[in-house]
A and B are shown apart, each in its own frame.
Chain A
């Protein structure tokens, strides 16, 4: 391992180890009740013991999150491209989208459950899709419209058509914005899936499991499930980052060059 890599990750590792040691010591030292805050060691033991079951319920919710992510992102991008064609429409839609984005979408969960059935994963996918839709659409519209003025003039000087400007200038310009939205959406979709399960869902779903275990004061189980949710969320996020690096390498190299 090279020294720079070590210097990059060392602080994070130090902080993690220190936090875990302090936590464990506090729980043991002050004899904190198990239902208030389980010790890390207890959580880890529980996690390992229940690993198979956790993977099973984790995967169930992950599928909901993935489905919602794809539906929401596709529709968000589609809506942005349709409206981006008309600046006037855009100007009108953006404030509406921002307003819609500040609506607690979660409140719809019980209604969507009624539409498609509590047990149907589609109900959760729809909620996730709606949660994800607005950030993706807003970001895409921004990316398509916040184009460098000179770059646009250059296109006009070539007498380029709107379609050509869309493909050769606006779309590449929007890609970093879209990937940013994907990163937000990745984190949101897992949380959204778990939270929407609070209003009822399949017994083998992460949110239902957490709610039930917490209600029975079995917090080690709940924490293990939270860890699974985190791992999935972070993995999802990292996958998006990897794809981003592959698709828009210029963006990163430029950023890196500017930092030095």
Chain B
């Protein structure tokens, strides 16, 4: 992938800027967030609720010229109000919000991680079976694809009845979202070695088992990691969705429901919860991306001439 991307730019020869790529990307990332914040507050400046000295850290008084419903303090709280919310208790005499959200994030991450493991193993097993048994692939693949058009939330209540409310049922719901990409990419990856590579193994009279572990599996790894990165994200979404109908209140899904109920009195708490969810999703993705880097290190050339 790296090679292909580099090939696409054609700028490899130009002495592209002095900073190393990760630093440039991190800076760009920060820049984009700054732009979003500026746009956000800009919208509130021109079309939000009046700025009072006590609702912004600059002590500004300002009356916006237009009024948009989307930009009101209820619908789009000030950035600093949201940041502030992390430090304030969400109910009287309770712990500060960030402690609650941190605990909720851990809780949801654990569910997501279990779902990811279950889904990943299931996906790999299914993909392997499909790659080796033609009938299974032809017979089951259409339903594996169709399974992804089932709105997961719809079967969640049933799963919860089957397995009792608890993090196990949430993990299963999360696994339902994660197994699919792994199945597809395992199958594609195991089938990816060219004819000649398989023939070479046959020329050594290698067993099916040996072909699988010496050729097919290593060839499939890059494909599988692509899927795992998708699954990492999906498992967090799955865990949050799974919490909604299960009555579990300790995770981010529960927090979303809870703060949604009290939206009028504190919209910034729901926004803070969304930011926490975003962090969990990104954290899991980055975790798998790092793992990919370690496992697949040395597969692609670091630098290329020309």
Contact = CB atoms under 8 A, between A and B. Distances in A.
Nearest to B279: A103
A226 B155 contact: yes
A191 B24 contact: no
B146 A195 contact: no
Given A92-B29, A108-B274, A234-B149, A102 B8 contact: no
A229 B149 contact: yes
B241 A12 contact: no
Interface string B253-289: 0001000100100010011011001100110110000
A60 interface: no
A206 B149 CA distance: 14
A229 B151 contact: yes
Interface in B106-157: 135-136, 138-143, 146, 148-155, 157
A160 interface: no
A115 B70 contact: yes
Contacts of A233: 149-150
Interface stretch (A72-80, A93-101, A242-250): A93-101
B240 A36 contact: no
B9 interface: yes
B162 A36 contact: yes
B32 interface: yes
Interface residues on A, range: 35 or more
A230 B149 contact: yes
A156 B11 CA distance: 12
Nearest to B4: A146
B227 interface: no
A210 interface: yes
A106 interface: yes
Nearest to A35: B161
Given A11-B139, A107-B273, A145-B5, A229 B10 contact: no
A191 B152 contact: yes
A157 to B, nearest CB: 12
Contacts of B31: 92
A12 B138 CA distance: 6
Contact of B154 (A87, A99, A108, A194): A194
B55 to A, nearest CB: 19
Interface centre among A10, A102, A153 (most CB of B within 10 A): A102
A81 interface: no
A190 B285 CA distance: 24
Interface in A1-27: 8, 10-12, 14-16
A237 B278 contact: no
A92 B25 CA distance: 5
Interface string B145-180: 010111111110110011000000000000000000
A226 B151 contact: yes
B75 interface: yes
B244 to A, nearest CB: 6
Interface in A194-248: 194-195, 198-199, 206-207, 210-211, 214-215, 219, 222, 225-226, 229-230, 232-234, 237
Interface stretch (B86-94, B204-212, B231-239): B231-239
B215 interface: no
Contacts of B136: 11
B43 interface: no
Interface centre among B153, B233, B237, B267 (most CB of A within 10 A): B153
Contacts of B146: 230, 234
Contacts of A146: 4-5, 7-8
A229 B32 CA distance: 37
27 contacts: A12-B142, A15-B139, A91-B25, A102-B233, A102-B236, A103-B274, A103-B277, A103-B282, A106-B241, A108-B274, A145-B8, A146-B4, A146-B8, A148-B7, A149-B8, A149-B10, A152-B10, A191-B152, A195-B151, A195-B153, A198-B153, A207-B154, A214-B154, A214-B158, A215-B157, A222-B158, A237-B149
Interface of B: 4-5, 7-11, 21, 24-25, 28-29, 31-32, 69-70, 74-75, 135-136, 138-143, 146, 148-155, 157-158, 161-162, 232-233, 236-237, 240-241, 244-245, 252, 256, 260, 263, 267, 270-271, 273-274, 277-278, 281-282, 284-285
Given A106-B240, A111-B75, 12 more contacts: A36-B162, A102-B233, A103-B281, A110-B263, A111-B267, A147-B8, A153-B10, A191-B149, A198-B153, A206-B151, A230-B146, A233-B149
